[in-house]
Copies of this chain bind each other. A is one copy, B any other.
Amino acid sequence: MTTLKDLQTPALILDAGRLDRNLERMAAKARSLGVALRPHLKTSKCWDVARRQLTTPQGPATVSTLKEAEYFASHGVKDMIYAVGIAPAKLARVAAVNAQGADLKVIFDNEAAGRAISDFCERQGVRIRALLEIDCDGHRSGLRPESPELIEVAKSLRPGSGAELAGVLTHAGGSYNATSPEDIRRRAHEERDGVVRAAERLRAAGLPCPIVSVGSTPTATFGDNLEGVTELRCGVYAFFDLFMLGLGVCRQSDLALSVLVTVIGHQKEKNWVITDGGWMALSRDRGTASQKLDQGYGLVADISGEPVPEDLIVVSANQEHGIISSRDGSAFDLERYPVGTMLRIFPNHACPTAAQHPQYYVVDDGTEVRAVWPRIYGW
């Protein structure tokens, strides 16, 4: 039997019990809202996680890179949306995935991209379905629901070219800056209202709009009405992280992802415990720096995943060194953490932290390693 004590550190630990509960909770939420769940697989980039997460082995699923699309297609996933505005030079890879039986959809928010999709389909004699990206909160890409260009851009997918309008999609990324559950609920309403309004405008102009897609983990958690919406996309809910905890979107006992590290030394006068878990293992993400409770580079737990009683965080990190100290700088008994002690660090943001590691070591509410799940990276 392999346990966490047998692992070389740093190592990425996934608690499968917490994962399963997180997955079930969101699946139930989607069912209660009467929409399909199209999980975003960019958080895990791992088939072993995805197959637990998808409502059918064929999808629906969301991906953030074509590498993910190719990888998940190789595992039999068919219904996918590549949810980053398409660059024309990527269409050949999209077509190659679809040539193997998938229905990989792309998104776009401008006429140049729409024309490029149409031209490509016409030239290659292929069909590609595309969703129009809607900007529901001003945080990034997309057309505003009331944009005068909306219809014109949608029509840049030329009928008969092989390019087909598959619907509208939005992402309430602004919810990451919300200040309370009520604020998140308000943003969830804006997200729904915006994308449904865009769908109505397209339909009124005689255009098809079968898919109406929303999603972010915060708005999915607190949203209570998805009338007119057909599907929910979200990703980080599978693992959760300190940033979501700070937003009030999960509880500490939902945090499924941590990084196992080993104590390698101390600086006694400074109340520092030094570990081999630096930013290469934790990522450079400092998302909680903007929240009420700054968690440094991560919250310190013992090897079993229980936060240590001294309220320790990773106050600083170099490439392969983490410096642990108390949150308020007060002294604590360093001798409780001798050289060789293993600790688990809950990270700020699950997506970049997981991305630093080639695999997950899977436990289930304990320290026995029950499986090793590989993940992909790159583009």
A160: CB under 8 A from chain B?
A: no
Neighbouring B residues of A24 by C-beta, 8 Å: none
Please tell me which one of the listed residues B8, B10, B274, B379 contacts residue A11 in the complex, with CB atoms under 8 A apart.
B379
A179: CB under 8 A from chain B?
A: no
Is B87 a contact partner of A262 (Cβ separation < 8 A)? Answer: yes
- Knowing A84-B320, A85-B274, A355-B280, the reply to whether A265 touches B116 (Cβ < 8 A) is no
Interface residues of A in 46-91 (CB under 8 A from B): 64-66, 84-90
Q: How far is the CA of A10 from the CA of B358 in the complex (A)?
A: 20
Neighbouring B residues of A284 by C-beta, 8 Å: 283-286, 352
A185: CB under 8 A from chain B?
A: no
A161 to chain B, nearest CB (A): 18
A230: CB under 8 A from chain B?
A: no
List the B residue with the shortest CB-CB distance to A9: B87
Q: How far is the CA of A264 from the CA of B289 in the complex (A)?
A: 30
Interface residues of A in 318-340 (CB under 8 A from B): 318-321, 323, 338-340
A246: CB under 8 A from chain B?
A: no
The 0/1 profile, CB within 8 Å of B marked 1, for residues 81-125 of chain A is: 000111111100100000000000000111011001000000000
List the B residue with the shortest CB-CB distance to A323: B140
List the B residue with the shortest CB-CB distance to A270: B138
Please tell me which one of the listed residues B264, B286, B351 contacts residue A319 in the complex, with CB atoms under 8 A apart.
B351
Q: How far is the CA of A42 from the CA of B285 in the complex (A)?
A: 20
Neighbouring B residues of A338 by C-beta, 8 Å: 112
Interface residues of A in 278-316 (CB under 8 A from B): 279-281, 283-286
Is A320 a contact partner of B65 (Cβ separation < 8 A)? Answer: yes
- Knowing A8-B379, A141-B274, A283-B284, the reply to whether A87 touches B339 (Cβ < 8 A) is yes
A191 to chain B, nearest CB (A): 16
List the B residue with the shortest CB-CB distance to A338: B112
A296 to chain B, nearest CB (A): 14
Q: How far is the CA of A279 from the CA of B285 in the complex (A)?
A: 9
A267: CB under 8 A from chain B?
A: yes
Chain A to chain B contacts (Cβ below 8 Å), 8 pairs: A9-B379, A110-B266, A113-B339, A116-B339, A280-B355, A284-B284, A284-B285, A357-B378
